[in-house]
Structure 1
Amino acid sequence: MTTNGTAAHTGMTELPPLVRDALTAARLHRFPYSCRPEQGRLLSVLAGGARGRIGETGTGLGVGLAWLTSGAAPGVRLYSVERDPERARALAAERGWGRLPAHAGCLPQSGSPAPTRAAERHDCPQQRRHYAVGGTATS
């Protein structure tokens, strides 16, 4: 999340449709903490290099997820986690996703150097199964 990241997109006309839609939802729900446009473009480029799956934490109202989706190759699966239930419900309603599954369990602790290390340290098989050998974690 970035302070005023949602507002940083104001006036931009060349945005992927999914990003435009996510920004509309973020503005409607007065969520200012979306990623900035330059961060979104970086996410899109990084997503283009993924071949299996992409995971994101801190979905917010889906702007970063929309950038990732816009850059991902066909067949790449995207997973995202939002710990605020109200925000997750708002995103699901905006996107027409219906009911989202809620999963309790182990998530990386804030400040963990990388999600894979957090999963190993907390012996979290539910989370570890989503990581690929040789994968890349960014923060």
Structure 2
Amino acid sequence: MKKLLILFITLSLTIACSKDDSNSSNNPTSSSGLSVKINGVLWEGSILGNMLDESSEQFVVNSLNQKSNEVFGFTMDYYDGPGAYPKAKDNLAFVSYARIDKNIFLNVSGTAFVVNVTNVETVAGVKKVHGNFSGTLKSVAGEVLQFTEGKF
């Protein structure tokens, strides 16, 4: 879990700080996209990584909005099939959103975030999760963001 957490943070910071001017479009309605309303404003991104590892009981989803260079993602433990996550015993569930102004929002004490896995597909031998999510994340400065109508 620690290795995945370090990998996700490194990936998030690398992408969030890059100056890529790619004109690729983000399409969250496709199977490779993610969409969510953040404080009522639609945010869309391309999924960079979506992997379910049943041997470690973990799943990871990472998404990038190329227009704003913002990154959103989550890692959950104790995967046991479709349903709501994190599980009660998962004390390392990790959800983060890195905003263009370099503020990072996390699922910290006093926030709640739920990821609902509705189905799993296998693409080229890799299992991927799909579903919806909602909740709140908080920055170190105390700013709280509400995430609603999330789909991946």
TM-score w.r.t. the length of structure 1 is: 0.30
TM-score w.r.t. the length of structure 2 is: 0.28
Q: Which has the higher strand share?
A: 2
Q: Which has the higher helix share?
A: 1
Whose RCO is larger (CA < 8 A, sep 6+)?
2
